[in-house]
Amino acid sequence: MEKWIGRVALVTGASAGFGESIAKRLVEHGMKVVGCARNIEKIQTLSESLKGAKGTLTAIQCDISKEDQISAMFEKIKKDFGGVDVCINNAGLSYNAPLLSGTTEQWRHMLDVNVLGLCICSREAVKSMKERGVDDGHIILMSSMSGHRVVPNASHIHFYAATKYAVKALTEGLRNEVCEMKSHIRVTAISPGMARTEFTHRLFADDIRKAELEYGDCKAMTADDVTDSVIYALSAPTHVQVHDILIRPTECPY
Ligand SMILES: NC(=O)c1ccc[n+]([C@@H]2O[C@H](COP(=O)([O-])OP(=O)(O)OC[C@H]3O[C@@H](n4cnc5c(N)ncnc54)[C@H](OP(=O)(O)O)[C@@H]3O)[C@@H](O)[C@H]2O)c1
């Protein structure tokens, strides 16, 4: 991770779960991390707790479903830090929204955050790298095992799975486009299975019983387990592009 010391990483959805863990680890590795979310108090608290670490954490409020807010965030990063070297597209969500009874509004919001927000941030990050002549940047897309298989008894997340299947296509598409540019910018997807974060609690709108049922009997992964995969991809030699990491709880059958 030495090459990333002093470089700038944007982590979307840094107020909870994977994003919080990733932001913390990157600061410990000496990066200047910008963490964004709609609720930035937790990022500010994390930033305070990291005073004295090798790197820094700055919170920016940004709703990834709103393009004007994304543009404003990239402008602020340009002004304060020069630009983005690593973009971790982590913000994402699912509603309990089956294909036969979910609302259009729920589906549209998942598309806006999980797909469009991720595309806009990736485009703006590559633009930022190009205008500064950064040839070794890294785009990370937080996908899911739900982008690789459809769990038959989990109708509440079928639309969510579709957004993550989109991320699978976008990973390959982005890789092709940066390759065509003759750039060494790398693109990596991370595809975790079940991990303990706020994700299922939000999915079931804080119905703790339903959220806990989702984990079943298997020991879920932690956010830190997923962060390990991000660090692996970022620290691979420059000529090695880790394309997609599928990481699942050992005990989980699906
Ligand atoms: N947990 C799992 O089992 C699992 C498995 C596979 C993949 N994933 C994926 O991993 C990513 C992170 O999930 P997680 O488990 O860490 O979930 P989480 O604990 O619920 O955290 C989600 C993060 O995304 C942010 N976010 C949500 N909507 C946003 C928006 N409109 N604008 C900006 N930020 C937004 C949240 O911040 P605010 O609410 O403050 O905005 C929060 O920081 C997601 O893409 C998810 O699909 C999760």
CATH, residue 48: 3.40.50.720
pLDDT mean over 159-170: 98
Q: Which residues contact 230 (CB under 8 A, 6 or more apart)?
A: 22, 25, 88, 140, 190
Residue 160 designated active-site: yes
* Gap between the Cα atoms of 158 and 244, Å rounded: 21
Contact 122, 71 (CB under 8 A): no
The domain tally of the chain equals 1
- For residue 228, the model assigns a pLDDT of 98
Asked whether residue 229 is domain-assigned, the answer is: yes
- For residue 208, the model assigns a pLDDT of 87
Quote the tokens at residue 80: 């304060």
Asked whether residue 253 is domain-assigned, the answer is: no
CA 55 to ligand 1 centroid distance, Å: 23
- Greater pLDDT, 153 or 3: 3
> Is there an atom of ligand 1 within 6 Å of 21 CB?
no
Asked whether residue 201 is domain-assigned, the answer is: yes
Q: Which residues contact 43 (CB under 8 A, 6 or more apart)?
A: 14, 15, 20, 23, 35, 36, 37, 57, 59
Asked whether residue 126 is domain-assigned, the answer is: yes
pLDDT mean over 141-159: 94
Q: Which domain holds residue 182?
A: 2-247
Asked whether residue 252 is domain-assigned, the answer is: no
User: 3-class SS at 157?
Assistant: helix
Query: In angstroms, how far apart are the furthest CA atoms of the chain?
Result: 51
| pLDDT(220) > 90 | yes
CA 20 to ligand 1 centroid distance, Å: 10
> Is there an atom of ligand 1 within 6 Å of 194 CB?
yes
CA 168 to ligand 1 centroid distance, Å: 17
**In the chain, what are the helix, strand and coil shares in percent, each to the nearest 5?**
50, 15, 35
- For residue 151, the model assigns a pLDDT of 92
pLDDT in tens, 15-30: 999 999 999 999 999 9
pLDDT in tens, 190-205: 999 999 999 999 999 8
Q: Which residues contact 239 (CB under 8 A, 6 or more apart)?
A: none
Asked whether residue 254 is domain-assigned, the answer is: no
* Gap between the Cα atoms of 121 and 34, Å rounded: 13
> Is there an atom of ligand 1 within 6 Å of 39 CB?
yes
Quote the tokens at residue 33: 């991390």
- For residue 91, the model assigns a pLDDT of 99
* Gap between the Cα atoms of 199 and 194, Å rounded: 10
